[in-house]
Copies of this chain bind each other. A is one copy, B any other.
């Protein structure tokens, strides 16, 4: 789905409405840079903690998948994660102590597979909506209105935020 010929183009993507295509273009670029930032990392490197407050790169990768899954549920099913889903995604959503304790020992393929599974579902879900859906609003943070476009923008801007941290952590490992 990430078309390298169009990686620096924000434009229509066949099968999606214009704004959805632009949003997906940005999500694709963000993901492409995430994948570049973690290329070839070993299990030990994915588990590396810069200090006691740090999240591992592995936990941050799991966080990307968890956030995207949570927004699928939020925007397409209009509900919060249930208990079963929180058991799976909770530590990756929360990061911190819970993430440090529970997310480790996995190889890069594990995280990439998780990211891909969730993203493929996003690609499918986005086929079922259009630009009007993207602009639908509801009450969100701090009693203010947000539209679906913003919610999905937030999914990729959170990824970019933590990708900045991944790059910083990786630089400290010298790999």
A interface residues (Cβ-Cβ under 8 A, vs B):
4-5, 7-11, 19, 22, 25-26, 29-30, 51, 53, 135, 137, 140-141, 144-147, 149-150, 153, 157, 160-165, 167-168, 171-172
Contacts and interface: CB of A to CB of B under 8 A. Distances in A.
Contacts of A7: 144
Contacts of A171: 53
A147 B10 contact: yes
A171 B168 CA distance: 14
Copies in the complex: 2
Contacts of A153: 10, 26, 29
A165 B161 CA distance: 8
A8 B146 contact: yes
A8 B137 CA distance: 9
Nearest to A135: B11
A26 to B, nearest CB: 6
B161 A167 contact: yes
Contact of A9 (B26, B147, B157, B163): B147
Contact of A163 (B19, B135, B164, B168): B164
